[in-house]
Amino acid sequence: MTFSRLFCPVLSCLALATAFPALVRAEMSCDIVESPNGRLKVAVCQGDAGSPSYTVELEGRPVLHPSKLGLVRDDADFTRGLTLAGVDDVQQVTDGYEILTAKRRRNQYTANERVFHFETADGKKLDIAFRVSDDGVAFRYVFPGQDATVRKLTSEASSFAFPAGARAWLQPMSVAKSGWERSNPSYEEHYEQEIPVGTPSRLGAGWVFPALFRVNEQAADNAGDDVWVLLSEAGLGRNYCGCRLASESPDGEYSIAFADPREVIGDGPAAPESTLPWATPWRIIVVGSLETVAESMLGVHLADRPAVAVDARDLPGKASWSWVLLKDNFTIFPVQKKFIDYAAEMGWQYCLVDADWDQKIGEEKLGELVRHGQEQGVKVIVWYNSAGAWNTTPYTPRDKMLTHQSRVAEFEKLKALGVAGLKIDFFGGDGQSVIAYYHDILADAAPYGLAINFHGATLPRGWQRTYPHLMTMESIKGMEFITFDQNNADRAPSHNATIPFTRNVFDPMDYTPMALAGIPNIQRRTTAAHELATAVLFTSGVQHYAETPEGMATMPEFVREFVKGIPRVWDDVQFLQGYPGKYVVMARLRGDRWWIAGINGEDGPRRVELDLDALGDLGPAELIADGDEDGSAFRRMTIDLSGASLQPIEMPPHGGFVIAVDAAE
C-alpha cells in the first residue's frame, strides 16, 4: 500500500487506522516514506500551526509518537508557521563501500529517500531529507541556496517521543570543565540500565549518543517480544557541534541539545554556525530487534564518504601498551623496548609509547625505539596532549597540535623518525570549534599516513569512514578507569555487557581490554575468560591490549595462541544472544573462521543455548572457558559443532568464553 499524501480531518482517515494508527489525528496532512521491505514506515506531517512532525511505525506498531522537527536560526524560526512548498518523489539511495575499522568490512546500504521542502512566511527555505532503510530511519536538515552571511542556530527542535512504558539505557553527559584537571566531557560515564523513559539526567548535562531504548507496550521480559531503538548521529562536519539528548524528557519525549557554551577552543563557536548551503548531521534511529541493533551499520552508512586519500590497508592492528597497568613511571626506554619485544612475540603490529615520553625518553631515544621496532616488525605510536586552555592536564608533549603550522612540523619530525601513529588526548568537548579541531588534525595527518587515535574524546560518529586513518577513539569508561577505582571494577561486568549494544555498535572503541592476570591494587570482578572474550567482543581499528608481558607469560600456551590469532580486521558479525547489561554472545568472521565470544554481566551463573545455524556448516571447534571457581584460570576443550542445532554453554557469574571454529568445507 503506497500513499503520496494523507489528509486526516478527524474522521476521514478511519479506514487507515489499522495500517497507520499513529497517523490518525485531527487536522494533519502527512506523507509516507517506507523502507525497501515495507516493514518500517515514517509519516512526515504538518499541523495547522505549520509545525512539521514525524512518527515511526514498525509493522503497524507505534515506535515513535508524533515527534518534533525544525530548527531556530538567528534570522528565522523553522519550527512553526511553515508552508510545505513541495515533496519530492521517493528516490532509492544505494551505496557500497569497504571499511577496515568496523565490525563488517564490505557493506551495502539501500534506503528510500524523500525530501520535504518548507518555507517561512518571508520565503526562507528549509529542506528536510528522510531516508528509511530496512534497519532504521535517518533525517537531516538542509538550508539550500547561496548566502555568504554566517548564520547561527539557537536551537534544534528535533525530538523522539517514545510510548509510555519504554525503557532506556543511557549514559549521562558529564558537566563541562568538571573532573580531573577540568578535562570533562569525555563520554566516560557508566550507562544507566533500563531506566523509565523521562528520567532526568542525574548530572544535568544531557545524555550522550548512542542512546538505547526498548519499546514494549506489554513490558515483557523477553527481548524477542520487544522493539529496540538506538539513537545517534553521523555526518558531523566542521560546521556543526556534537549534539546530545537534553537532560529533561517530559512524557518520554527526548530532544536534541547543543554543546555546552564552555566546550570551545578560545573564542570559537559552541553552537552551530555556517554560511549557506548548510547541511546538518544525520539524526539516526535504528529500529528493530536487538539483533538489528547489534548488527546495524547505519551510523557508518550515513557518515560522510572519505574526505582524504589515504592507503589504510596496513594501519589496523593490535598493540602492546604499558601505561594502563604500570602507569607513569614505566614510560621509560627499557620498559618500552620490552613492550616492543612483547608485541613482536605476540604477532602484534604496534607498541604505544604513552604520555611524557618526550621528557622520560626523548626524541633521540624514541628514534632508537622506532628502529628497534622496525627490526622486530613492530610500529610505534606516540602520545600527545591536545592541550589548550580548555583543561589543565600537565602531561606532555603539549601544545604541538594547536595550529596547522605546529601540527605539520610535528608530523614531519615524526615521519622522519619512523613513528607510525599518534594518540592525542584531552579534548575540549563537543562545541563546533572543537569538532573543527578534530577535522583539522585528521586532515593534516592524512598526507603522512599516520594512524590516529583520539582519547578523552567525543564519539566518532562515523569519522572512521570519512578519515580512513582514524583507527579508534576512546569515548568510553574503559580499562583505565577500572585500574583507578574499585567501584569501576565492581560495575565492569554489567558495563561490558552493555557496550556491544550502545557505544560500540557503529564506531571503533579504544576500551583497551584484556587484563588476564589481574589488576594492581584492584580486585577484578570479571573472570579471566570474561577478559579474554572482550578481546573479540569489542571492536577497534587498533586494539590496545592491557595485559603486560609478565602477565601474558603466566597464561596457558593455548590462551597465548588464541590471542595471537585474533584478526586485526573483521569481515562480518552475527549477534547470537544477549540482553543489555546482562549478557551478550556475538560471532565475528574473518575469512572462513568464526570467532565467538560471550560474557556474563550478572552476579549469577547463566546457561546459554546457542543457535549457530546462521554461521553455516561448522566443524570441530576450540572452546576456552573459565576453569575454576575464583575465575583466575582457564579450561580448554574441543567441541564438535557439525550438525549441532543448539550448543549449550555454561558461564559462571561475571564469566565468559570464546570459541574459534572453521566453516566446514
DSSP 239-277: TS---EE-S--GGGEEEEEPPPTTSSSTT--SS-EEEEE
CA distance 78 to 31: 19
Per-residue pLDDT at 28:
73
d(CA 430, CA 103): 26
Q: Express each pLDDT in 601-632 by its tens digit.
A: 999 999 999 999 999 999 999 999 999 888 89
CATH 1.10.40.30 fits 317-554, yes or no: no
Cα(605)–Cα(308) distance, integer angstroms: 49
Q: How confident is the model at residue 644 (pLDDT cuts 50, 70, 90)?
A: confident
pLDDT at 6: 47
Burial environment of residue 19 by CB neighbours within 10 A (0 to 12, 13 to 18, 19 or more) = middle
Above pLDDT 90, what percent of the chain?
91
420 has a pLDDT exceeding 60: yes
Confidence of residue 224 (pLDDT cuts 50, 70, 90): low
301, with CB counted inside 10 A (0-12, 13-18, 19+), is buried
What does the pLDDT look like over 384-393, one tens digit per residue? 999 888 889 9
pTM over 0.75: yes
Backbone angles phi, psi at 30, to 5 degrees: -135, 150
Determine the pLDDT at residue 17: 39
pLDDT at 7: 42
Q: Which class for 80: exposed (0-12), middle (13-18), buried (19 or more C-beta within 10 A)?
A: middle
For 579-663, CATH gives 2.60.40.1180
| Mean pLDDT value of segment 352-361 | 98
Q: Percentage of the chain with pLDDT > 70?
A: 95
Q: How many CB atoms lie within 10 A of CB 266?
A: 10
The whole-chain average pLDDT of the chain stands at: 94
CA 70 vs CA 119, 501, 507: distances in Å: 11, 29, 27
Domain ranges of the chain: 6-301, 317-554, 579-663
The CATH number of the domain covering residues in 6-301: 2.70.98.10
User: CA–CA separation, 204 vs 59, rounded Å?
Assistant: 36
Give 2's pLDDT tier (boundaries 50, 70, 90).
Answer: very low
Q: Kindly indicate the confidence band of residue 220, based on its pLDDT and cuts at 50, 70 and 90.
A: very low
**Dist. CA 659–CA 201, nearest whole Å:** 39
Provide the CA 291 distance to its chain's centre, in angstroms: 16
Query: What sign for the dihedral angle of Cα 564, 565, 569, 572?
Result: negative
Of the listed ranges 104-113, 210-219, 574-583, the least confidently predicted one is 210-219
Q: Is the pLDDT of residue 322 over 70?
A: yes
**The pLDDT of residue 665:** 66
> How confident is the model at residue 645, as a pLDDT?
74
pLDDT in tens, 274-317: 999 999 999 999 999 999 999 999 999 999 999 999 999 999 99
Domain 317-554 and domain 579-663, same fold? Reply is no
Q: Three-class SS string for 4-21?
A: CCEEECCCCCHHHCCCCH
Cβ atoms of 503 and 495 closer than 8 Å: no
Indicate if the pLDDT at residue 48 is higher than 90.
no
pLDDT of 338 over the 70 cut: yes
Residue 221 is predicted with a pLDDT of 44
DSSP 323: H
> 532-563 pLDDT, tens per residue?
999 999 999 999 999 999 999 999 999 999 99
Residue-level pLDDT at 27: 58
Identity of residue 124: K
In angstroms, the CA 618 to CA 628 distance is: 28
- Mean pLDDT, residues 519-530 taken together: 98
Predicted confidence (pLDDT) at residue 12 exceeds the cutoff of 80: no
pLDDT in the model for residue 218 = 52
Could you tell me which residue, 221 or 90, shows the higher pLDDT? 90
CA distance 638 to 620: 7
